[in-house]
Structure 1
Amino acid sequence: MSGLVFDRVSVRYGHGRRGLTAVDGASLTVPSGQVVGLVGESGSGKSTLAKSAVGLAPVRGGRVLLDGTDVTRLRGRHRPLQMIFQDPYASLDPRMTVGDSIAEAIPRAALRGRTARRAEVERLLEQVGLDAGRASLLPGRLSGGQRQRVGLARALAGRPGAVIADEITSALDVSVQGTVLNLFREVQRRLGLTTLFITHNLAVVRYVSDHIAVMHLGRIVESGPTKEVLADPQHPYTRELLAAVPRRSATPEDVGRVEEDVREPADPHHPPDGCRYHPHCPVGPSVRDDRELCRTRDPGTEAASRAHRAACHFVTAPSTAGLEAGAPGNAS
């Protein structure tokens, strides 16, 4: 399997003052055969970064490399990347049978002849835990969990070098979310799929990911091995995300305090200078007079020299070799 690299990727919608830079020079590495969980609040640019890799978002700068090939330049050709979308009800054509939807994703050069393609569809359905007889059904005859399984089968049909999973359980009933996650993790490990897993749920990231990257206002602000980042977060934004997760022992008063502490996110149309998190940072210049440089200097330029490649001026140098420059999950 191939490694997936986002190299200083920028995505901008519109022009002039009304334009929006949804992703701003973000760099991220998904090592071959591993899962990188990408987290951040709504509007941080997670899904936009993912869409840049599959041709669904306009890349204005940077590259998306898969096994050294810039996939953003593969015009009109089959891309060796597949995406599993958030909404299983909208990701499948309601007028096409399940089998036809999966068969459509199989590269023409991979299999020829109806018999061979039909057999491949049946194999893929069985691989995701669905009976081969489901191939003749329309998506409307399936449950949400079953449709998401079809979405996974369709992604595998494309013979991908890497897979992007975008909030694949958030639109499902709680009762089936765990089943779909277990299936995804089993398939990923069995096939060794290189995977970018996007979610806002830190518990899910802990469960499925080898590495974690945290995104804020279009930039990666912290990244590293999942266990290390969640156990010892370096960036204030990451610590805020973890603090906002209700604990099992939390009282209603605790949850209420978390809701009160949630700040209005910054306007992506007018991102602040310097560190983009500084207006909301609980240890930044708004509360500490000795940290005025946060208002003017971008901390991302020296992130490679810090623990977890954190985009924060006040993080110490990494203490372990696993967090050296070039390790998985390069910060922007």
Structure 2
Amino acid sequence: MSELVFDDVSVRYGSRRHALTAVAGAHLTVPSGQVVGLVGESGSGKSTLARAAVGLAPLARGRILLDGTDVRALPRRHRPLQMVFQDPYASLDPRMTVGASIAEALPRARDRGRADRRTEVARLLDQVNLDPDRASMLPGQLSGGQRQRVAVARALAGRPQVVIADEITSALDVSVQGAVLNLMRDVQRRLRLSMLFISHNLAVVRHLSDHIAVMYLGAIVEAGPTEQVLADPQHPYTRDLLAAVPRRTSAWDIATEPALDTAEPADPHHPPTGCAYHPRCPAGPLAHAGRDVCRTTDPAVAAATRPHRAACHFALPKEPREDGSS
């Protein structure tokens, strides 16, 4: 088990006038042996943060640490950090058999010959609930769910300590999504992996995750234990995400307005000053006179003083513990 830490991570594309900040000063910890669900709408920077962790997106600032070691210093071929990508149709080479794709990811130390490789590939396929006979097939001969299981087996072939799963069910039929999610949770528990699970689906994240982090316009705006965040969300964006989830009844019933329907999403090339969410926020200056602080001051500066590290000026302050600490 290993701990993955994103320390003040920023990712920028382009230069100067045309630069886009995809991730802006993100702080996030994936505790050892636990699952952190990262949620947010499309374009919030979730996948960019994941790609930065595996070296597919350059860091403009900050560090990504695996047990205190910068991931950029780890061996590129067999890092103890592996990623399962969103699209199972694009993540596997269509010209390579399933067995060859998985065997390619095996550490060289285990490469003792064809028989050993075949045995290990069969074990990995069995681990993701696929018949080892599938090893001789091409990806095009498999269903989407089967391909995604192969992608999981390929990630596990590298003997990872941390797995990043990026929207791994969004390209699958609804009928197979649950089976793949259950597989991921079973594998995580059995192998005691640390996992960053990325999704826009709060119901999925609640099912899988020990902790939740909410991302908006490149920044983490709230993070904490899953049940605490969902039962008592502190950031208006988190509350708006929860309000968008279809449900019959909810234990979460806070008297607040929905998101401002007429407000346009912020332009990531020209993000708002102060709180990035204030042009859409039902708790911000467009809905409440006198809250101009949202336009001028970044609430992330004092996030550590609030429950769930909420990047909101009007989140409740942390209650002091009985021992007097905060």
Same fold (TM over 0.5): yes
Residues 67-124 of structure 1: CA deviation (Å, up to 9, x unaligned): 1110123464532210001100110000000000001111112442222121111000
CA distance in 2, matches of 1:162, 1:263: 39
- 4+ aligned runs moved over 6 Å, structure 1: 257-260
Mapped contact 2:9–2:59 kept (Cα < 8 A): yes
Mapped contact 2:260–2:282 kept (Cα < 8 A): no
Match of 1:152 in 2: 152
Q: CA 1:320 to 1:118, structure 2 compared with 1: closer, same or farther past 3 Å? A: farther
Mapped contact 1:244–1:258 kept (Cα < 8 A): no
Q: CA deviation at 1:202?
A: 0.3
3-state SS, counterpart of residue 289 of structure 1: coil
TM-score by length of 1: 0.91
Match of 1:15 in 2: 15
2:49 is the alignment partner of 1:49: yes
Match of 2:142 in 1: 142
CA distance in 2, matches of 1:99, 1:21: 39
CA distance in 1, matches of 2:320, 2:193: 27
Unaligned runs of 5+ in 1: 251-256, 327-332
CA distance in 2, matches of 1:292, 1:263: 17
User: 1:279-318 counterparts in 2 under 5 A?
Assistant: 279-318=279-318
User: 1:123-134 counterparts in 2 under 5 A?
Assistant: 123-134=123-134
2:65 is the alignment partner of 1:65: yes
Q: CA deviation at 1:179?
A: 0.8
CA distance in 1, matches of 2:240, 2:72: 34
Q: CA deviation at 1:316?
A: 1.9
User: 1:80-159 counterparts in 2 under 5 A?
Assistant: 80-159=80-159
Unaligned runs of 5+ in 2: 251-256
Mapped contact 1:306–1:318 kept (Cα < 8 A): yes
Q: CA deviation at 1:223?
A: 0.4
Residues 194-221 of structure 1: CA deviation (Å, up to 9, x unaligned): 0000000000011000000000000000
Residues 115-148 of structure 1: CA deviation (Å, up to 9, x unaligned): 2121111000000000111001000010000000
3-state SS, counterpart of residue 245 of structure 1: coil
Mapped contact 1:36–1:211 kept (Cα < 8 A): yes
Mapped contact 2:259–2:280 kept (Cα < 8 A): no
CA distance in 2, matches of 1:182, 1:205: 12
Amino acid at match of 2:304: A
Amino acid at match of 1:288: H
3-state SS, counterpart of residue 291 of structure 1: coil
Residues 226-276 of structure 1: CA deviation (Å, up to 9, x unaligned): 0110111000010011111122479xxxxxx98993853211000011111
Mapped contact 2:23–2:49 kept (Cα < 8 A): yes
Match of 1:244 in 2: 244
TM-score by length of 2: 0.93
Mapped contact 1:9–1:64 kept (Cα < 8 A): yes
Mapped contact 2:258–2:282 kept (Cα < 8 A): no
Amino acid at match of 2:243: A
Q: CA 1:95 to 1:299, structure 2 compared with 1: closer, same or farther past 3 Å? A: same
Q: CA deviation at 1:17?
A: 1.1
Mapped contact 2:8–2:27 kept (Cα < 8 A): yes
Match of 1:254 in 2: none
3-state SS, counterpart of residue 147 of structure 1: helix
CA distance in 1, matches of 2:142, 2:134: 9
Number of residue pairs matched by the alignment: 317
State the percentage of identical aligned residues.
Answer: 73
